[in-house]
């Protein structure tokens, strides 16, 4: 797998250097970021190859900022987050939205993200880039069936909450303990079947004229409320 951008490459070198085969850096790239990548490569004994910027652009389908890296495996890294806080997403088709959502999940200490296989963008280099490297610190699993995943977590004692504009205000819902939070896609939110099998539906009440939020933004609001509750002494 080829990843690109300063933050994804740096986090791969920091978190799983044993899986970085080599790093590519534009030959005229200089400054603090270039120096940091050089130090990390030297410390982790990862080969660093200087290439022309045009050659890097030919290999990478996106804005690379002069950095790329070849990973030996594309498996999801182990997360340091809370195993009792899990997020399930379905039908998020825009890689930038998925990357931004993963960045939010890592920032709020989510232990695992489940991504419905059909209808969702795969975790590609573009997603890793959009996550600003956060995907390198977060466990993600592709799942074939939302309902089966929900029942598996319910059997393990998790409460299943679905994000829906018609749900209860999130600050009125107990978001401590074992929680599986289900987030829907950009177009129509959660699937009707998914909403039906959730234990409760939660919402971010809004005061403005536009009664909708980007999925990553909505996820951020709900997860930071969960984080606030989980860090407040009960």
**What's the confidence (pLDDT) of residue 194?**
94
**What's the confidence (pLDDT) of residue 136?**
77
Containing 12, the helix (H) or strand (E) segment is: helix 6-15
Q: What pLDDT band is residue 170 in, cutting at 50, 70 and 90?
A: very high
**What's the confidence (pLDDT) of residue 225?**
96
Q: What pLDDT band is residue 211 in, cutting at 50, 70 and 90?
A: low
pLDDT of residue 213 exceeding 70, the answer is yes
Q: What pLDDT band is residue 5 in, cutting at 50, 70 and 90?
A: confident
pLDDT of residue 177 exceeding 70, the answer is yes
Domains and CATH numbers, the chain: 2-71 (3.30.1330.30), 82-231 (3.40.1280.10)
pLDDT of residue 171 exceeding 60, the answer is yes
Mean pLDDT for the chain? 87
As a whole number, mean pLDDT of residues 184-212 equals 84
The maximal CA–CA distance of the chain, rounded, in angstroms, is: 57
**What's the confidence (pLDDT) of residue 179?**
96
pLDDT tens for 102-160 read 999 999 999 999 998 887 877 777 888 788 778 878 888 888 889 999 999 999 999 99
| Strands 159-169, 140-143: pairing kind | unpaired
- In terms of Cα–Cα distance, which of 106, 131, 114 is closest to 183? 114
Dihedral through CA 214, CA 85, CA 80, CA 36, nearest 10? Answer: 10
- In terms of Cα–Cα distance, which of 165, 161, 200 is closest to 178? 161
DSSP classification of residue 20? E
**What's the confidence (pLDDT) of residue 103?**
92
Q: From CA 26, how far away is CA 83, in angstroms rounded?
A: 39
**What's the confidence (pLDDT) of residue 71?**
83
As a whole number, mean pLDDT of residues 32-40 equals 93
**What's the confidence (pLDDT) of residue 206?**
78
The gap from C-alpha 14 to its chain's centroid, in whole angstroms, comes to 17
Instruction: Tell me the whole-structure pTM to 2 decimals.
Output: 0.70
Edge-first strand listing for the sheet containing 110-116: 140-143, 110-116, 82-89, 179-183, 159-169, 200-203
Containing 218, the helix (H) or strand (E) segment is: helix 215-231
Percent of the chain at pLDDT exceeding 90: 47
pLDDT of residue 100 exceeding 80, the answer is yes
pLDDT tens for 41-98 read 999 999 999 988 888 888 776 677 889 888 886 555 666 689 999 999 998 888 889 9
pLDDT of residue 166 exceeding 70, the answer is yes
């Amino acid at each position: 797998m080829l990843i690109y951008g300063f933050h994804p490459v740096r986090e791969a070198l920091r978190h799983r250097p044993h899986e970085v085969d080599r790093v590519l850096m534009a030959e005229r790239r200089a400054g603090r970021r270039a120096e940091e990548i050089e130090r990390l490569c030297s410390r982790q004994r990862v080969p660093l190859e200087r290439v022309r910027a045009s050659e890097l652009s030919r290999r990478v389908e996106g804005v690379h900022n002069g950095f790329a890296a070849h990973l030996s495996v594309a498996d999801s890294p182990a997360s340091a987050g809370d195993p009792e806080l899990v997020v399930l997403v379905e039908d998020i088709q825009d890689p930038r939205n998925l990357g931004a959502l993963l960045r939010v999940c890592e920032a709020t200490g989510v232990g695992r993200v489940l991504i419905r296989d059909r209808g969702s963008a795969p975790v590609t280099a573009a997603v890793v880039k959009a996550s600003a490297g956060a995907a390198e610190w977060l466990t993600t699993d592709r799942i074939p069936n939302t309902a089966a995943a929900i029942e598996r977590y319910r059997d393990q004692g998790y409460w299943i909450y679905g994000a829906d504009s018609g749900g209860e205000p999130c600050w009125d819902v107990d978001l401590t303990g074992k929680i599986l939070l289900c987030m829907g896609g950009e177009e129509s939110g959660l699937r009707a079947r998914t909403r039906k099998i959730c234990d409760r539906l939660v919402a971010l009440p809004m005061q403005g004229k536009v009664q909708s939020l980007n999925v990553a933004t909505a996820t951020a609001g709900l997860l930071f409320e969960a984080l606030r509750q989980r860090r407040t002494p009960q």
